[in-house]
Amino acid sequence: MKKVVVAPDSFKGSLTARELCQAMRTGILRVFPDADVVMLPLADGGEGTMETLILATGGHSVQVEVTDPLGRPLKAHYGALGEFTARNGNNSDSSNGLAHTNPSLVVIELAQASGLPLLAPEERNPLVTTTYGTGELIRHALDAGHRNFLIGLGGSASNDGGAGLLEALGLRLLDAQGQPLPRGGGALARLQQLDASGLDPRLQESTFTIATDVQNPLTGPTGASAIFGPQKGATPEQVAQLDEALWHFANHLNHTTQHQNTTDKKDLHTHPGGGAAGGAGAGLLAFFPCEMRSGIEVMLEAGHFKQHLQDADLVLTGEGRLDAQTLSGKTIAGVCQAAATSQVPVIALCGSAILTGGEMDELGLQAAFSLVPGPCTLDEALQHAAVWATERTEQILRLLR
Ligand SMILES: O=C(O)[C@H](O)CO
């Protein structure tokens, strides 16, 4: 084994992607002390996206006081990236906003101001949580003169279709009495009128790449509320209520965008990725001049993953859970897809791995291992993740040796 590319996401709540890289590297070197280990910490558009890109590009973060998902004050950050070159190497497609080296690219990670980890489990309530704080981050970056944005969507506490974010940038959401709606996904059911006349004009001078962690649509059985509502605290009745509210919101979004001067008309109920971050994908598609891409794809480009693969013997990846959501575009799926034509085997290390062999074949994943050595509590698993990641990696490499 001469060269191993280590490219995991974080184990949320326990290890950052960088820490996981270090732990896996230690395990590899115990078996192959001379191996070249390339560490590429990853994220999928959700939590960790900003930090990973700042590290990859030598950028810096900017702190802003914003509103958290429940309307309380919060210090959050956005990243002003250094040298950022995506679409590099053999890929000569230069049709998107990331095709060039852009020293002033700003990364806004929605999870920073509107993420699920910001709330205690008992505070989760997607009927009222808002993305307003993310809009405040964007506004701050616009005020600072930035016009090129990468918005990472995923890991949100909200189900508001990005309504709060848009409101922070000047969109007015009015009820039947012409009054502003309260924030949160539940109130969208009472939306009577969208007034975009006060929307920040600087948005139209800017370019936005929307990096999503999933491809789910806004509404329906695979939509934002049905698939991601429960993890944000929604009961089955609330999931139905939220889905209906987003459906109603999308009717208004479709109506509004149909009157915009654009040739690219989308149905925002069903557009892939519209359901990312509680439907913020759809809200952004409606009002931002943007291109939507898979978050993991953007991260792999930024880390030059394909070049690193060229003489690699093995890719080790990982994320907290390997399950059906992985199939819809999470980190491991992106890594497998990028490695698909290379003949380099991909092995995953996960907190829990519950895919069938058939599903792993579909992903192009050689094998998957849970790092947990035996029955244990969640707390134990979170606490020992680094040591266990090293040990499990060592075992995998011993087997390969
Ligand atoms: O934030 C969310 O809703 C999920 O991560 C899917 O984007």
Query: What is the pLDDT at residue 136?
Result: 98
Probe residue for ligand 1, chosen from 47, 49, 156, 212 as the CB with the greatest number of ligand atoms within 8 Å: 156
Tell me the CATH number at 158.
3.90.1510.10
Domain boundary among 296, 319, 337: 296
pLDDT band at 329 (very low <50, low <70, confident <90, very high): low
Query: Comparing 100-104, 219-223, 239-243, 367-371, which segment has the lowest mean pLDDT?
Result: 100-104
CATH number, position 338: 3.40.50.10350
| 212 in the same domain as 123 | yes
Residue with more model confidence, 156 or 351: 156
Q: What is the DSSP string of 329-386?
A: T-HHHHHHHHHGGGT--EEEEEEEE---HHHHHHHT-SEEEE---SS--HHHHHHHHH
33 and 53 in a common domain = no
Work out the average pLDDT over 113-129. 97
Give the Cα separation of 79 and 251 in Å (integer). Answer: 34
Q: Which of 47, 228, 271 to mutate to test the pocket of ligand 1 (most atoms within 8 A of CB)?
A: 228
Q: 186 with 308, same domain?
A: no
- Residue range of the domain that includes 389: 3-40+304-399
Q: How far is CA 234 from the centre of its chain?
A: 20
Angle at which helix 17-31 crosses helix 378-400, to 10 degrees, equals 40
Which residues are CB-contacts of 293 (< 8 A; sequence separation ≥ 6)?
A: 96, 209, 210, 211, 212
- Partnered with residue 292 across adjacent β-strands are 210
The ligand 1 atom nearest the CA atom of 115:
1
- In angstroms, the CA 116 to CA 177 distance is 32
106 and 192 share one domain: yes
Tracing tokens 């950052």 back to the chain, one arrives at 16
Which of 129, 151, 213 most suits a substitution to test ligand 1, by most atoms within 8 Å of the C-beta?
Answer: 213
Task: Name the E strands within 40-100.
Answer: 60-67, 73-80
Q: Are 97 and 138 part of one and the same domain?
A: yes
Q: What is the mean pLDDT of the chain?
A: 90
Q: Could you tell me whether strands 290-294 and 314-322 are parallel, antiparallel, or unpaired per DSSP bridges?
A: unpaired
Ranking 58-67, 116-125, 296-305 by mean pLDDT, the lowest is 296-305
b/e for 60-96, b at 16 or more Cβ within 10 A? eebebebbbbbbeebebbbbbbbebebbeeeeeeeee
Tell whether 324 and 385 lie within a shared domain: yes
Is residue 113 within 8 A of residue 139, CB to CB? The reply is no
CA of 383 to the centre of ligand 1 (A): 25
User: In the structure, which protein residues have their CB atom closer than 6 angstroms to any atom of ligand 1?
Assistant: 46, 153-156, 213-214, 224, 228, 276-278
pLDDT tens-place string over residues 203-230: 999 999 999 999 999 999 999 999 999 9
| Range in 28-37, 40-49, 60-69, 137-146 the model is least confident about | 40-49
| C-alpha of residue 210 to centroid of ligand 1, in Å | 13
| 7 Cα to the center of ligand 1, angstroms | 21
Q: 267 and 335 share a domain? A: no
Residue to probe by mutation, ligand 1, list 214, 294, 319, most atoms within 8 Å of CB: 214
Same domain, 32 and 115: no
CB-based contacts of 148: which residues, under 8 Å, 6+ apart?
97, 102, 104, 105, 106, 206, 207
Query: C-alpha distances in angstroms, 132 versus 71, 168, 188, 268, 353?
Result: 8, 6, 14, 20, 35
| Ligand 1 mean position, distance from CA 310 (Å) | 32
pLDDT > 50? residue 93: no
Whole-number Å distance, alpha carbon 161 to ligand 1 midpoint, is 11
Q: What is the DSSP letter of 235?
A: -
Extract the tokens encoding 22: 């270090």
Q: Tokens for 49? A: 């996206």
Closest ligand 1 atom to the C-alpha of 46?
A: 5
Say whether both 92 and 192 belong to one domain: yes
Mean pLDDT, range 147-171, rounded to an integer? 97
Alpha helices in 209-304 (DSSP H): 224-228, 236-258, 276-287, 295-302
Q: Complex ipTM, two decimals?
A: 0.99
* Segment (H or E) for 390: helix 378-400
The two tokens of residue 135 are 């809009």
Q: Based on the domain organization, do 310 and 359 belong to the same domain?
A: yes
Last residue of a domain, one of 268, 296, 324: 296
